[in-house]
Amino acid sequence: MNIRNLKPIFNYFFAITLLLSCNGHEQKEKTITFWSSNASQEILFTAYFADKWNENHSEKLESQPIPEGQSSEEVIMAAVVGRTTPDIYANMWQGLVEMYAKSGVLVPLDTIEGFTDFIMARSGEAVVKEITSADGHIYQIPWKINPFMTIYNEKKIAQLGLDVVPTTYSAYLKAGKDFSKDTDGDGYVDKWIGDTEVKNIWHQRLNNFYPLYLAASNGAPLIKDNKAVFNNEYAVGVFNFLQTIYREGYFAKESNTVGSDKFLAGHTATKWTGAWDVSYLERYKEDDFEYNIAHLPVPDDHRGVVYTYADPKNIVLFNTCKNPALAWEFIKTMIDEAGDLKFLELSGQIPRRQKIKENEVFQVFLRENPKIIPFIDQSNYVYGTDNCEVLIEVLDIISQEYESCVIHNKKTPAKAIADASRAVDILLGNF
Amino acid sequence: MAITFLYPFFWMIMASLTPEKLIGSLTFIPDSFTFNNYLAMFGKIPIGRALLNSMFVSSVITLGVILIGAMVGYALAKTRFMGRNFIFYLIIFTMTLPFQITLIPNYITIVKLGWVDQYTALIIPFLVNNFAILMFRQSFMSVPQALIDAARIDGCSELRIIFQVLFPSIIPTIVTVGILTFMTTWNEVLWPLIVVRDEMVMTMPQLVTLFSVGGRADAQLGVKLASAVLLALPIMIAYSFFQKYFIQSMASSGIK
Amino acid sequence: MQVRPKKKRSILPYLLVSPYMLFFLVFVAFPVLFSFFLTFHKWNIISPMEYSGMDNYTRMFNDRLFWKSLRNTLWFLVIHIPLQIIFALGLAVFLNSKIKFKGLFRSVFFLPVIVSGVVVTIMWQQLYGFNGGVINQLLNSIGLGRVGWLTNPAMSMPSIAIMATWKNVGLYIILFLVGLQAVPEHYYEAAEIDGASSWQKLWYITIPAINPTIFMVIILSTIGGFSLFIEPYVMTGGGPLNSSLSSVLYIYKQAFEFYHMGYAATLGFAFAFIILIIIVIQKKYIEKKY
């Protein structure tokens, strides 16, 4: 084989290498790396502040969405293990911070000058207490929440002769019975009262079981003093409610990854979701699509305000960050009043700030975006996650029982919850 | 029967060209066409970069597998040394070893070497391929010894003998090893999923997989299908040109 | 006849095989030993490793999901292997007869083989849809009713097996064709003179002749079944009710969702051991039979 015959091969490699190096990272002059969540609005938000920062600072900031993955929690864990974490990560699920803090990969933020005062003024004492780690340090900046509520298609609910979506179990089931039917006569239900992901992955239970449990129980924990405390009437009630829904065919049993969005297409009338969904709907809905918001369904005998899951996502600094004080300087620009307003405008998610409704700065936005107001009201009655290092595994256990009881009707709710509770206690080493 | 083999591809291509709300009712030809799914997808994921990554990784591996495979295969076929049979049986043994055993420790090796998110993690573990070594060994065994002896008398070094004197007579083997290696590395998903989490280094099938299970598609089916169509395209184009070689290579892989 | 000088002979072959030895030590020998070591430990990589004795093994024997994933894989093989052989052999016999467009058919059947499994999986996930999927629309329109391809726990593995058959059948058609063409024509002629039916010819001449190919299809399908990952990962996440949780998916979940590295390594060992046993049994049984 002659050397000249190999020339095309060399050219090919040369071309690919050249192309790869052309649009690679320009890491040399960037000093702070920032990962935002994957949501398109948040990518815009972060880019806006990164550009602003880079105009005025010699130490540059490079922002990018967290790499695509099955869940952001999985991607972050892989980055921690592989030591490829960013300096700042702005979508950290609160339920994982304690574990990372204990493994020593997070920067204790309260050691930064002025940090605690700033957070105290923005979010208030109760929130600061909630996010303080067991060792007394603070490892996370309480950034944003997405209280879970029911969003409903107003026209579809009106078809049932109702003004607003039902908010008790029995009324919701009644609506399910009236609404869920086979409209094209092929023998299968094609309209459902609602829909929630059925996949058996732990984080999916944060979209259905957990918010409903918090709503029913006025924000009771799952784990307390390292013991499972969810074997109660509320958890059983939620399982019972959801089991009835699936048994009677009021929800589709199919994963949302098959087919298009059922709510936007009008195949479902309600969904349980967070504030971010408002901007999603505004972006993708048809012009004549009308929707409104209500609190989650609760047991018929429920009294008082209705709690829900806050879905808290916070900002953390990884110890790969070389200049935490500078990183904090940048973060402050994102979460001061002007930053929070921009965040509301671009993403429609709720900053974890006290008295948004009373604050002058936000008045114009709230007047123009009334759909956000129910979520802001709800954010006074939210609960985050329990301080438990193995929360993912707890939710995985609940998820296993959820699937077999709620979706496939293999167990009674009481048995499923009791089994889950026992398995969690074994996990926590209580036997 | 043949239709059932073509229709899924046809459906996917049509669906990727259909506006989102019409995909649900699509069975044959959509009522209206759009390229929006493709445009939206290009804005969401660096798929061009992933294509280049895949080409780079698969090409380097293919080249490495051919060079190393030929060297080791030659040594096993045409030289005598202590432990030759031992190495031969080692290769056979390694081939039968299920990858489930080495998956976790190899990931940890990559972590400890600091190769996470690097091309080295995607390339180095695949540079040596037992099957390729055996293929080369077999074809070198059928090369007449006289050819080698003549080259040695002319003063050729052993590497020159392998790559210049013997290569022209084993071109079918090189093509087969090349196509098989390129195809298997191109289609590999599990390993990249484990060792690479940086989108700038991700291979194309990996990026498309994550796009289909992850959140950035905003639950829009059309853009996911568009990414799958793009993933299928390069290899389908290569197939339409070199069909004969593809089929022959795959067939010989099974027979040996 | 060796022409080389002695000195050269001793070093050179070792230089040539050195890349292989390096590879073997780093990516085969070390991992196997290290993996065995890991099975006695609890480790999530970021925290210090803890010795845990036989915990991983006792846990595995009591782990419902370990047995479930093993049963799922065997269930997959029970459906997939016969389907694969019947379709591949049937189509190969068809292509071996005197028909038009032989080459065209061959290329069409081969198309799914070369396309990435990810593409095939994303495509079929949508075709299998319960409510809007094309297959159910078709079944419904001819009055058969819908099938819960991916939503019914009893159907998810069969659905994946059908898809895998569809994807691989082209390759096995080619392999069978090679086998069929090697059968001497006069065998069939002699059988015809003896008045054998087509079935008898298939059973007594064709099948014994291509038996090595059948054996290979079985081995390759077995290895493929134990490697199933991307199909359930994308289509079902292992559900419903863990009915499509494959062995590799379960290892992946333990390792990269929960970072139970020690337990994942234990599972890897167990599954590898099971694969080897199954292959040894298959080999014995089939070699004895013919």
CATH assignment at residue C261: 1.10.3720.10
User: pLDDT, tens digit, for every residue of C117-145?
Assistant: 999 999 999 999 988 788 998 898 888 88
Q: What pLDDT, in 10s, does the model give residues B174-213?
A: 999 999 999 999 999 999 999 999 999 999 999 999 999 8
Domain span at residue C209?
Answer: 61-289
Inter-chain residue contact B200 with A82, CB threshold 8 Å: no
Query: Which structural domain range is residue A54 located in?
Result: 30-139+313-351
Taking a contact as any Cβ pair under 8 Å apart, which residues of chain B between 19 and 78 contact chain C? Answer: 24-25, 27, 68, 71-72, 74-76
Half-sphere exposure of B249 (CA within 13 A, CB side): 24
Tell which residue, A368, A334, A371, has the closest CA to residue A351: A334
Domains, chain B: 51-203+233-255 (1.10.3720.10)
Q: What is the pLDDT of residues A302-313, one digit of tens each?
A: 999 999 999 999
The pLDDT tens digits of the residues spanning C154-178 come to: 999 999 999 999 999 999 998 898 8
CA distance B81 to chain C (A): 7
What's the mean pLDDT in A393-420? 95
Interface with chain A: mutation pick from C44, C46, C231, highest number of A CBs within 10 Å: C46
The residue out of A327, A351, A375 marking a domain boundary is A351
Q: How confident is the model at residue C73 (pLDDT cuts 50, 70, 90)?
A: very high
For residues C115 and C199, is the Cβ–Cβ distance under 8 A?
no
Whose CA is closest to A70, among C125, C253, B20?
C253
Please give the pLDDT value at position C2: 47
Listed residues A324, A351, A378: the one ending a domain: A351
Q: Does C258 touch chain A (CB under 8 A)?
A: yes
- How many domains would you assign to chain A? 2
Same domain, A130 and A186: no
Of C271 and A14, the one with more pLDDT: C271
- Where residue A212 sits, what CATH number does that domain have? 3.40.190.10
In this predicted complex, what is the ipTM?
0.90
Residue C187, domain member (yes or no): yes
Asked if pLDDT for residue A198 goes beyond 80, the answer is: yes
Q: SS3 for C134-193, per residue?
A: HHHHHHHHCCCCCCCCCCCCCCHHHHHHHHHHHHHHHHHHHHHHHHHHCCCHHHHHHHHH
Has residue A24 been placed in a domain?
A: no
Indicate whether A127 and A224 sit together in one domain: no
Mean pLDDT lowest among A24-38, A286-300, B118-132, C117-131:
A24-38
Nearest alpha carbon to residue B70 among C9, A1, A4, C5: A1
Claim to verify: residue C177 and residue C37 sit in the same structural domain: no
CB B38 within 8 A of CB B227: no
In a domain, A381, yes or no: no
Would strands A88-93 and A30-36 be described as parallel, antiparallel, or unpaired? parallel
**Whether residues C272 and C132 fall in one domain:** yes
Tell whether A73 and A159 lie within a shared domain.
no
Domain end position, chosen among C55, C71, C93: C55
Out of B60, B163, B200, closest to residue A25 by CB: B200
Residues A103, A122, single domain; the answer is yes
pLDDT value at C7 more than 50: no
A248 shares its domain with A101: no
Query: Which stretches of chain B score pLDDT less than 70?
Result: 253-256
The tokens for B227 are 């990414």
User: What CA–CA distances, in Å, run from B253 to B63, B135, B177, C179?
Assistant: 18, 9, 9, 14
CA distance A115 to B112: 35
For residue A18, is it within any domain?
no
pLDDT score of A273: 94
Question: Crossing angle for the helix pair C247-256 and A72-82, nearest 10 degrees?
Answer: 70
Domain boundary residue among A331, A351, A371? A351
Specify the pLDDT at position B155. Answer: 86
C49/C65 same-domain check: no
- Predicted structure pTM score: 0.90
Per-residue CA distances from B235 to A207, A414, B229 (Å): 39, 53, 11
**Within this chain, do residues C65 and C51 fall inside the same structural domain, yes or no?**
no
- The residue whose two tokens read 């999923």 is B193
| Cα A57 versus chain centre, distance | 32
Helix (H) or strand (E) holding A91: strand A88-93
HSE toward the beta carbon, residue B83, CA cutoff 13 A: 10
Q: What is the DSSP string of A216-260?
A: HHTS--SEETTEE---SHHHHHHHHHHHHHHHTTSB--S-TTSSS
C1 falls within a domain: no
Rounded CA-CA distance B197/A67 in Å is 6
Residues 6+ apart with CB under 8 A from A77: C256, C259
Percent of chain A with pLDDT over 70: 96
Task: Identify the H or E element spanning A153.
Answer: strand A149-153
Tokens read off for B129: 């391929």
pLDDT band at C10 (very low <50, low <70, confident <90, very high): low
Reference B115, options B4, B13, B191; nearest CA is B191
- Asked whether residue C141 falls in the same domain as residue C282, the answer is yes
In a domain, C112, yes or no: yes
Provide the domain count of chain C.
2
The verdict on C47 and C136 lying in the same domain is: no
Q: Are A406 and A246 in contact (CB under 8 A)?
A: yes
One domain for residues C38 and C90: no
Residue A92 has pLDDT above 90, yes or no: yes
Nearest to C84 by CA among C118, C115, C112, C48: C112
Residues C30, C150, single domain; the answer is: no
Residues C47 and C89 in one domain: no
C181 and C47, same domain (yes or no): no
Q: How far apart are CA B127 and CA C140, in angstroms?
A: 50
In order of A108, A210, B230, the CA distances from A204 in angstroms are 30, 9, 30
With CB atoms and an 8 Å threshold, state whether C258 touches A410.
Answer: no
Closest residue in C to B82 (Cα) is C10
User: What number is the average pLDDT over the span A109-129?
Assistant: 92
Q: Which of residues 188-217 of A touch C (CB under 8 A)?
A: 188, 190, 198-202
The reply to whether A223 falls in a domain is yes
Q: Indicate if the pLDDT at residue C4 is higher than 70.
A: no
Do residue C43 and residue C80 come from a single domain? no
Using CA of residue C275, residue C278, residue C282, residue C284, what is the dihedral sign? positive
User: Confidence band (pLDDT; 50, 70, 90) for C5?
Assistant: very low
Residue A4 lies in a domain: no
Residue A6: inside a domain? no
Q: Rounded distance, CA A291 to CA A281, Å? A: 9
pLDDT for the residue numbered C288: 53
Taking only the tens place, the pLDDT of each residue in A333-343 is: 999 999 999 99
**C179 and C247 share a domain?**
yes
To which residue do tokens 């898809």 refer? C163
DSSP state of B200: T
Q: Which two tokens stand for residue B27?
A: 């069975």
pLDDT tier at A407, thresholds 50, 70, 90:
very high
Structure confidence at residue A381 (pLDDT): 93
Measured CA to CA, the distance from residue B46 to residue B69 in angstroms comes to 34
A99 touches chain C (CB under 8 A): no
On average, the pLDDT of chain C sits at 89
CA A295 to chain centre: 17
Residues C266, C267, C268, C269, Cα dihedral to 10°: 50
Region A141-164 average pLDDT: 94
